[in-house]
Structures are given as structure tokens and as C-alpha cells.
């Protein structure tokens, strides 16, 4: 079995895979990671692990995994199941590497766009030859609400809410419309552009905000909540023990 650890900007996700099948999953905080790890893996015969970190995992926290199992620390030097044409591969986020790896496994010989709606919204394009070309990074839902509140004098900080109409008739509904409908139109517009320019035939939407967004997108997408974890598992399975 394989242990998958995804360290994000706000939380840590862990999963156990038996070959390609996820058998367990949990989410914890950075401060509770070591304690949570011990309880989570106790019932599973883990053989190896992979850590993908875009957050602030300390060396001590990382070693709590490395001392238990052979561990891959995902980076641009890790063997990947696609050709990386990013001009600066050392700056490519490991979360984006994992998403593209998942696509390469699940949809070989397809032109694909992977959209990850989390703290940031990332767009990643891989062509049918298995060449990763790059994409885009945009502020996510919460960042947009926070920016309106923090960078203006009078706008309130609101909880996420999808508006019923595009016309906001007061400050709160105007903010919801601007943030949420703006993101929906952004995503639909970018999908349209990739389909026009690169004949993209498969679009994956994943990440913590995928569910709320998927219901309003006009384009056909595949919503996949575990796509990143499956990509990390695929990368790990391809490495030598």
C-alpha cells in the first residue's frame, strides 16, 4: 500500500491506496499533522509514501514520514509520466505536476485542460502527445472575497454564496455576483479559448470549490474530487521501491 500526503496552503490531505484504489482518506491541519499521521496509518501495511507540499511542512514533520517509509519528496527532478515543456520546471507547483500526471494516466492521447479550484484557480494544458505546455494561475474564490474586503475601506467580508441572478441589488449581492459569476464566466471563457485554439476534448474540474462552480458552468466538464491524490499515487507507483 502507498501513503499519499498533499500539503496545501490551508490543510493537509492524506490517503492510502492499494494499487490504484483509494481505501482511506482524511484531512488535518498543519499543527496536528504528526499526531494525525500516527492514527491514520496504524491499520495499513504502508510500503512507501509520497509528499507533495505547496505549504509550510517543516523538516521535522517531513522526517516523521521519511523515518517510517521510503518517501518521495515530489519536485521537478522526480520522474514524471509526461514531457514537461514548462519553461521554468523548477517553479512549477507540485500540485500541478500531480494533476497533469493524473490526466496522463486517465486520458492518454487526449488534449486536456485540468482546472483546480482551490486557494488559487490553476489551469493546466497537456496535449495528446503527452506534452505538458503550461497554463494559468488566477485568484480563487476566497482570495477574491478577501481582496475586496482587505483592499477597500467599506466592503464587508462575506461567506461564499452563489447568487441567483447576475444583478446584485445591494452591496452584498453585488459582491457575490462579481466574485462568483465573474469566476464562472472566467472558467467558461478559458475553456472556450482552449477548445478553439487547441481542440481540447476533455476538461477536468477538481479542487475544494469544484462542486459549487460545476453547477453553473455551461461547458461540459468532469468533476473529480480525488484527481490530485490519484496523480500523486500514479507518480509514486512508477518510482522504484
Q: Is 192 noted as a catalytic residue in this protein?
A: no
Q: Where are the beta strands (DSSP E) in the chain?
A: 2-7, 12-18, 21-28, 48-53, 71-73, 83-84, 112-117, 120-126, 131-139, 202-206, 222-223
Query: Which residue, among 61, 84, 53, 101, has the nearest Cα to 239 in the 3D structure?
Result: 101
In the annotated binding site, the residues are: 6-13, 86, 93-96, 116, 119, 171
Distance CA 227, CA 179 (A): 25
Per the CB < 8 A criterion, the answer to whether 113 and 191 are in contact is yes
Q: Which residues are annotated as a binding site for ATP?
A: 6-13, 119
State the catalytic residue, choosing from 18, 20, 95, 169. Answer: 95
**Residues at the annotated binding site for substrate?**
86, 93-96, 171
Alpha-carbon distance of 35 to 45, in angstroms, equals 18
- Which amino acids are annotated catalytic? 95
Amino acid at each position: 500500500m502507498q501513503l499519499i500526503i498533499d500539503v496545501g496552503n490551508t490543510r493537509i490531505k492524506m490517503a492510502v491506496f492499494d494499487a490504484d484504489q483509494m481505501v482511506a482518506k482524511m484531512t488535518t491541519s498543519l499543527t496536528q499533522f504528526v499526531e494525525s499521521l500516527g492514527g491514520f496509518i496504524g491499520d495499513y501495511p504502508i510500503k512507501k509514501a509520497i509528499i507533495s507540499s505547496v505549504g509550510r511542512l517543516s523538516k521535522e514533520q517531513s522526517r516523521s514520514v521519511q523515518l517510517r517509509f521510503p518517501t518521495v519528496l515530489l519536485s521537478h527532478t522526480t520522474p514524471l509520466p509526461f514531457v514537461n515543456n514548462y519553461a521554468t520546471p523548477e517553479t512549477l507547483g507540485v500540485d500541478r505536476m500531480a494533476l497533469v500526471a493524473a490526466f496522463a494516466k486517465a486520458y492518454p492521447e487526449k488534449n486536456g485542460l485540468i482546472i483546480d479550484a482551490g486557494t488559487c484557480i490553476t489551469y493546466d494544458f497537456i496535449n495528446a502527445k503527452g506534452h505538458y505546455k503550461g497554463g494559468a494561475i488566477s485568484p480563487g474564490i476566497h482570495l477574491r472575497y478577501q481582496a475586496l474586503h482587505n483592499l477597500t475601506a467599506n466592503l464587508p467580508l462575506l461567506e461564499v454564496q452563489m447568487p441567483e441572478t447576475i444583478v446584485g441589488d445591494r452591496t452584498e449581492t453585488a459582491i457575490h455576483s462579481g466574485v462568483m459569476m465573474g469566476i464562472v464566466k472566467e472558467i467558461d471563457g478559458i475553456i472556450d479559448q482552449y477548445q478553439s485554439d487547441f481542440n481540447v476534448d476533455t476538461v477536468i474540474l477538481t479542487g475544494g470549490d469544484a462542486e459549487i462552480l460545476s453547477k453553473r458552468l455551461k461547458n461540459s466538464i468532469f468533476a473529480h474530487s480525488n484527481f490530485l491524490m490519484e496523480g500523486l499515487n500514479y507518480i509514486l507507483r512508477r518510482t522504484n521501491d
